[in-house]
Chain A
């Protein structure tokens, strides 16, 4: 099933006199979407609202026709998964497989079903051989992959990644990029909060720029990253290749090295 989130005039504040989100209208579906913006722009608050961990002060989030506020956090978890920034915040079992099976069993899968899903998820992150290992014996970047698998195994229609590329080496980033694309091709709605613009340029269909609690820019990465002046106002950078080519005097916006190489070959 397809996940579709409709956000209508969403407002949120922790304290009365400081509004964090000032009216957000968005429709999220199909396209894998990166939410970018300076620290404090309201990205994390926004995804917490999508998960039901916070309740909006006003406005609505509608998931496939159902108002999220009518669902409990546990019910939402079945449909919308979120991988937290720090894998240590969730890992507590003594073996990788138990850890990954925890979520699926919480959302009502049988043990056998959970095991099948868990093994599939571990395979997708390339950790299937380590399923009997104690997660605490693994390094941080592998633990991150475990925490991703733990959410994938729950088979949600929407998957949110909070800073997936932090503390990842090249191989880890590549793996996570492949996961993002694979999930998108499976028809899942992939969302991420991220500061790594190169990663957005390479793997995402859509970029939404948050600034001061509102949406500043929204569109495909070519469109968003071509607006250097607006990005600068939001204290964001273009991807490295885009900046380089811009500095070299090219009019076009190139997002990745591959784009540029292809363009040069075609000349």
Chain B
């Protein structure tokens, strides 16, 4: 079954790190530069995230993420660089188009922020199993029912996609055209969607029964199949991250007071 989760087991250092640690990293990586309010802080954290992604062997997977947002960022750079109010210093003249220093710097700030946030999120989701993350939340008091709903998405969607493929094959085998003009596609819609809906309903019922016979709704306190192991390394990293956030808060407060 094809997974829709972006996580991939690479047996890397970050894979073995506790999921809580990586969540904290994401939060700290976004908060610290925002609190310090300096572009160089952003650059430093971006470099750190890229380094972490590289040692986890998932740097290549960020390419689609960055290129999609890159297009949006590019339009921001162009528009701000040319038209931002307060643009006075021309740095680049391309025919009739003039780019101004002020606008470019401003859009650079936005770009750094966006890339920093994206990379920090990538560090978390590319190296952490979704179920580990949810279990971590449940352990902290998050509702197990909602947790299940979240995890099950990662199972149900690929399953539905697979069913959809089989159904398409089955109907094409009966001579139905599924490719071609809009009319052909509209005509194909009902024979394809009805079995998908019906089988999803049946699956849902069966899933509910399967959960219930295993005590999903039991009122007793639940234990975990996978014991979470928080190592000393995890604890040290957590402390360092919290310290970094606190230090940047202190820095900001000092700026206000001073």
Contacts and interface: CB of A to CB of B under 8 A. Distances in A.
Interface string A194-223: 000000000000000000000000000000
A72 B171 CA distance: 14
Chain A: interface size category: 20 to 34
Contacts of A78: 175
Contact of A90 (B171, B177, B190): B171
B43 interface: no
Which of B166, B169, B198 has most A Cβ within 10 Å?
A: B169
Chain B: interface size category: 10 to 19
Nearest to B202: A88
Interface stretch (A15-23, A25-33, A100-108, A228-236): A100-108
A41 B169 CA distance: 20
A77 B172 contact: yes
A92 interface: yes
A90 B167 contact: yes
A86 B170 CA distance: 10
Contacts of A86: 166
A53 B195 CA distance: 19
Interface of A: 48, 51, 53, 72-74, 77-78, 81-82, 84, 86, 88-92, 102-103, 106-107, 136, 150-151, 154
A106 B195 contact: no
B175 A106 contact: yes
A73 B166 contact: no
Contact of A84 (B169, B194, B198): B169
B109 interface: no
Contacts of B198: 88, 91-92, 136
A90 B174 contact: yes
The 6 A-B pairs at the shortest CB distance, nearest first, are namely A106-B175, A92-B194, A77-B175, A103-B174, A90-B170, A107-B175
A82 B173 contact: yes
B173 A73 contact: yes
Nearest to B194: A92
B169 A48 contact: yes
A84 B166 contact: yes
Interface string B169-204: 111111111000000000000110011001100100
